[in-house]
Amino acid sequence: MKAAFCRPSDCSMVPAQIQTAARADLTKRAIIHVGTEKTGTTSLQSVLGEHRDWLRENGILFPKSPGKLNHTRLVAAAEDDGVIDNIKAHVMASRHETAMQMRRSFRADLKRELESGDPWHTLVLSSELIHSRLHTPSEIKRLMSFILGSVDRITILAVLRRQDKLAVSRFSTAIRAGHKGFNDVFDDIAEHAYFRLPTRRDVSDFNHYYDYTSLVDRFAPFVDDANIELRLYQDGGHRTEPVEILSDVLQLDFGHVDTPPPELNPAMSAEAQFVIGQINQRIAAHLPSGKRDERFIALKRRIETELAGPARMNPREAARSFLARFEQSNDTLRARFFPERQTLFDDDFSMYPESVDYSDFPSRLEPVINDYLASLVLSTPQQSALKRTLGKVRKLWAS
């Protein structure tokens, strides 16, 4: 692989310090695991965290300053000014810092960690939020700037999942995070995660989240295709395990490491999705400070446990039509990185039924929703707002 941050033709796009770092006679490498979401990222991060000391003994640094397991602080610090999403808001509120203070403190903390402790030759950064939240050239450049001068080669690692399956799996996560819908699994729901966006900032699932060629091309000014490591989450009935990926990319024998459970963030039932989505419409998932409301999180966990019924189903034709949107992008990526394959993903849609009907949910689950809402201890302003909303909802359903 080439020890370079950029292609020669692209170096004019990159700050001078990056070009200098690319020429430096260093022997250190950074692996940036960018996701994608819902491809076993939590399991992979769990393996890295559980074996952090063993990895360091072998010259591999999985730092704590960006986040204990998921490096969410890294992503929050890399986001553009004026962008406030649920992750950045929580990090800022938890640390009692403004966005600029948070970015400065993170840069200092990471630098201190990179320069202390036992020697290392490989740095591993991991967050699926790099895939879902860092879209602009300035955000990617800022991400790279955090490790300039510390490494001479960067590898981007991404695990790809067929887009319709990603959308179905991701929907439970979106509901947990505060999404208010139910019938929009295959819609563009990118903005649900953002509290504030700068004027003219485009946030699109179709352009940024599901388009894998677009994802890879974000890093083109900094790494060439030889330094892009792509894995398919599931191929030919075989699901790629996190330990397999780490063994391959890190060139380290993980034979003594047990494979973690495959579903650390399992999908919730259809009933749980509907009930939590309805509650999200009436109660904010975050406190006014930006921190997550732990009482609400506990209630959602309880709902998931108590309404652990059949998984959410989606109609076959809807899934097929959704995947077709990304046919050209997928084929472009296949030609670049998987030329031996005829298609990037399989075309099996047998897991989807021909039709699905959840039309009885509003009336049947209304008492369940009200019982859960009544059990939630709220502040006085929240209680008042909830009573007003429930009154409107009852009138709407009665009409």
Q: How confident is the model at residue 13 (pLDDT cuts 50, 70, 90)?
A: very low
At residue 96, the pLDDT reads 95
SS3 380: helix
Pairing of strands 238-239, 234-235: antiparallel
Q: What is the reported pTM?
A: 0.86
The answer to whether 33 touches 124, Cβ cutoff 8 Å, is: yes
d(CA 303, CA 312): 15
d(CA 393, CA 382): 16
d(CA 213, CA 13): 20
Is 50 exceeded by the pLDDT of residue 121? yes
Q: How confident is the model at residue 4 (pLDDT cuts 50, 70, 90)?
A: very low
Mention every residue, 6+ apart, whose C-beta is less than 8 A from residue 168: 185, 267, 312, 314, 319
At residue 12, the pLDDT reads 41
**What confidence tens digit (pLDDT) does each residue in 277-292 have?**
999 998 888 888 888 8
Q: How confident is the model at residue 38 (pLDDT cuts 50, 70, 90)?
A: very high
At residue 236, the pLDDT reads 66
Average pLDDT over residues 3-32: 51
Tokens of 37: 């979401």
At residue 263, the pLDDT reads 56
The values of phi and psi at residue 97, to 5°, are -130, 150
The answer to whether 373 touches 300, Cβ cutoff 8 Å, is: no
At residue 349, the pLDDT reads 96
